[in-house]
Amino acid sequence: MRQQLKFSIRVVVKAGTSILTSEDGKISSRNLARLGGAVERVLKAGKQAVLVSSGAIAYGMQAMGFLKRPKEMARLQACAAIGQGKLMHAYEEFFLSKGLTTAQILLTRDGLEDRTRFLAARKTLEELFSLGVLAIVNENDTVATDEIAFGDNDILSVQVAHLVGADLLVILSDVDGFYLRDGSRIREVASEAEIDTELVKHLRDKRKEKTVGGMRAKLKAAKLAMRLGIPLLMVSGHEANSLERALAGEDVGTLFHASRLAKSSRGKWIAFSAARKGALTLDRGAHEALLKKKRSLLASGIVRVRGAFERGDVVELETLEGAIFGRGVVRYSSRDLAQITGKKSHEIQAILGYKYQDEVIHRNDLVLWG
Ligand code: GLU
């Protein structure tokens, strides 16, 4: 698996605030140059890269003379607004001196849940790749607070990797991967089950990192990346050559393998990016027909409809016990479903006065996970 990393062409590199700051929490231009240099070498090696970088809040705090990280969300958001331009300015200056042009992209998780916006962002990024411009992504902290509160862009970086169809996501961290209590480094994680059974129980010092990132957020991001079919490597961001060593297939950091069950891009969108507008509770027969017999969902198997949604929206599927086991695109609105729930397909026409198809969710529009 390590050797395959050599062939990665499109790489997303994520750097949290602590990679850019020194011990006192102030932005360090030396650290920024070290990170920039590593990304520059990736680009000069002929690969494509996107840099997901935090640091706006740290820059903003510095500009305002705040010595401690503010506690109020609005003030953190204000700091991000103050600092984002300064962050980009620092990157621009660095990369321009290396002959590289940069672009700023500000995204939010729920912005990417909208298929149209997701595709618009993808097109922009593709265009930037073809222009040979380095895209530098951060959360748009004025309108979203997900990454300020939890994760410091860990999840956002997975979404970006998914957006551009990256071969690899490298999370630069304070530590060189995950360590077990006995001091040994976890080199590779092959399945999600390993995270829950082995890793979580035996991890050493889960609070080692200084920022909101933390190990918990990284494991959550790793799981999501695995499900999306993107290998994720966590390496130290404090060593100048760890990114290069990782891309040379060397044994550094912790590598999370992509799940072999990686689905189609539409399937991934249904499963992970699309907003869920409601939920359908299914009876046992329908649950089994979907899971085991690979059938489509018919109205007769639905026992309850929650939420308000239109034809074409994504809803969650749950068992009678309330366990969510999948998602799908509905072909009937919640208003229609309120009338045809539990009914046979041949009755739909008479009840609604029209019928689209027999299937409420077609097999091809379903993503199930158990
Ligand atoms: N997007 C924020 C930033 O760039 C997140 C980092 C944080 O919460 O400190 O500063």
Q: Cα separations (Å) of 178 from 19, 171, 195, 233? A: 17, 12, 11, 10
Distance 345 CA to ligand 1 centre (A): 51
Report how far ligand 1's centroid is from the alpha carbon of 241 (Å): 24
DSSP structural state of residue 136: E
Residues 300 and 168 in one domain: no
Judge if 191 and 318 occupy the same domain. no
Amino acid 27: pLDDT: 93
Cα 317 from Cα 303, distance rounded (Å): 11
| CA-based nearest residue to 224, from 181, 180, 163, 279 | 163
Domain-terminating residue out of 215, 241, 265: 265
**From the CA of 152, how far away is ligand 1's center (Å)?**
6
Query: Token pair of 153, please?
Result: 């862009």
Last residue of a domain, one of 239, 265, 291: 265
Residue type, 195: I
314 and 216 fall within a common domain = no
Pocket mutation for ligand 1, best pick of 152, 160, 210 (most atoms within 8 Å of C-beta): 152
Among residues 238, 265, 292, the one where a domain terminates is 265
- Are 147 and 198 spatial neighbours (Cβ–Cβ below 8 Å)? no
Nearest CA to ligand 1 atom 7: 148
Angstrom distance (rounded) from CA 360 to CA 345: 9
Do residues 296 and 258 both lie within one domain? no
Asked whether residue 358 falls in the same domain as residue 312, the answer is: yes
**Where on the phi/psi map is residue 66: left (φ > 0), alpha (ψ -120 to 50), or beta?**
beta
Residue 125 has pLDDT above 80, yes or no: yes
Say yes or no: CB of residue 61 within 6 Å of ligand 1: no
Going by their DSSP bridges, the two strands 324-329 and 314-318 should be labelled as: antiparallel
Angle at 118 between CA 360 and CA 136, to 5 degrees: 155
User: Is 80 a pocket residue for ligand 1 (Cβ < 6 Å)?
Assistant: yes
Per-residue pLDDT band for 144 (boundaries 50, 70, 90) equals confident
Q: Is the CB of 152 under 6 A from ligand 1?
A: yes
- Chain-centroid distance of CA 217 in Å reads 11
Kindly report the backbone phi and psi dihedral angles of residue 152, in degrees, each rounded to the nearest multiple of 5, phi listed first. 45, 55
Share of residues in the chain with pLDDT > 90 (%): 62
Please work out whether the CB of residue 54 comes within 6 Å of at least one atom of ligand 1.
yes
Confidence of residue 110 (pLDDT cuts 50, 70, 90): confident
Let me know whether 216 and 345 are in one domain: no
Is 157 part of any domain? Answer: yes
Q: Which of 160, 227, 166 is nearest to 191 (CA)?
A: 227
In a 13 Å sphere around the CA of 22, the CA atoms on its Cβ side amount to: 9
**Shared-domain flag, residues 159 and 224:** yes
244 is a domain residue: yes
Instruction: For residue 92, give every residue at least 6 positions away whose Cβ sits within 8 Å of its Cβ, in sequence order, or none.
Output: 102
Question: d(Cα 58, Cα 213) in Å, to the nearest integer?
Answer: 14
φ, ψ dihedrals at 302, nearest 5° = -90, 135
Q: Is residue 156 part of a domain?
A: yes
CATH code of the domain in which 324 resides: 2.30.130.10
Using a 6 Å cutoff on CB, does residue 53 contact ligand 1?
no
pLDDT at 171 over 90: yes
Q: State which of 52, 57, 106, 154 you would mutate to test the pocket of ligand 1, scoring each by most atoms of that ligand within 8 A of its C-beta.
A: 57
Distance, in Å, from the CA atom of 69 to the CA atom of 148, rounded to the nearest integer, reads 11
pLDDT at 263: 56
- Atom number in ligand 1 closest to CA 69: 9
Domain co-membership, 157 together with 92? yes
Note the pLDDT of residue 261.
57
Q: In this predicted model, what pLDDT tens digit does every residue of 44-101 receive, in sequence order?
A: 998 999 999 999 999 999 999 999 999 999 999 999 999 999 999 999 999 999 999 9
pTM: 0.75
> What's the gap in Å between 138 CA and the centre of ligand 1?
8
Q: Assess whether the C-beta atom of 154 lies below 6 angstroms from ligand 1.
A: no
Domain count of the chain?
Answer: 2
Within this chain, do residues 288 and 182 fall inside the same structural domain, yes or no? no
For residue 37, give the CATH number of its domain: 3.40.1160.10
Do 9 and 85 sit in the same domain of this protein? Answer: yes
| Rounded alpha-carbon distances, angstroms, from residue 44 to 3, 41, 50, 126, 172 | 20, 5, 13, 18, 19
Is the CB–ligand 1 distance for residue 77 below 6 Å?
no
Q: What is the pLDDT of residue 33?
A: 96
Cite the DSSP H helix spans in 269-320.
284-291
Tell me the CA–centroid distance for residue 57 and ligand 1, in Å: 5
Query: 57 CB under 6 A from ligand 1?
Result: yes
Residue 139 has pLDDT above 90, yes or no: yes
State the sign of the Cα–Cα–Cα–Cα dihedral 243, 249, 253, 256.
positive
Q: Considering only CA atoms, give the Rg of the chain.
A: 23
- 191 and 323 together in one domain: no
Using the atom order of ligand 1, give the atom closest to the CA of residue 211: 9
* Same-domain check for residues 230 and 314: no
Supply the residue whose CA is at minimum distance from atom 2 of ligand 1: 54
Q: Which domain holds residue 342?
A: 275-368
In a domain, 270, yes or no: no
Per the model's pLDDT, the better-predicted residue between 356 and 274 turns out to be 356
Q: How far apart are CA 48 and CA 128, in angstroms?
A: 10
